[in-house]
Amino acid sequence: MPMPSSILIGLGANIPSEEYGPPKKTLEAALNSFVRVGIQIKNQSRWYSSLPMPKSDQPSYMNSVVEVKTQLSPYDLLNVLLDIEIKFGRKRSVVNAAREIDLDLLAYGDLINEESRLHIPHPRIAERAFVLMPICDINPGWRHPKTGKSAQEMVIDINHSHESSSCFVVS
């Protein structure tokens, strides 16, 4: 399988993990583990703080996006990300629950896959400033394989809906 042009992984967390502590430290430790499982980080966005979606009384999230290189297939990459989540404390309970770590396969080159287990590109990518703003940091010209819109165009769309005000750069 030829290596896709742009593989994007979203990172998020809003509660501390037992082993690594605050969300940002947990996510940084998870990123450090990528190389051991065949994932090379090409570029990383700044860190962002965002309110939970949907809105709730949960703590704010720490978010970032990385662009990576890997020989792993999309399904193998998804399985590796799920394994990393478990290793770093993720406990799946209810939908939209607070979490120690969340790793989302956002895009895998131009691949469009809408099978129940693996949706690429991520089905809600165009609605989430906490994903699109970090993508703009590292690859502003990235285009959604299905809609053809660039990350920058989607951020503008979100700005017009006033949803981006809940996402702030922290470092």
pLDDT given at position 2: 52
Q: How far is residue 161's CA from residue 149's CA, in Å, rounded to a whole number?
A: 16
Q: Which two tokens stand for residue 3?
A: 């290596």
pLDDT of residue 43: 96
pTM over 0.75? The answer is yes
Tell me the domain boundaries of the chain: 7-169
Looking at domain 7-169, its CATH superfamily turns out to be 7,8-Dihydro-6-hydroxymethylpterin-pyrophosphokinase HPPK (3.30.70.560)
What does the pLDDT read at residue 30? 96
pLDDT of residue 158: 85
pLDDT means per 10 residues in the chain (171 residues)? 77 93 96 95 96 80 96 95 89 74 95 90 91 93 93 87 65 71
The beta strand positions in the chain, using DSSP E, are 7-13, 39-44, 48-50, 61-70, 102-108, 113-114, 119-120, 167-169
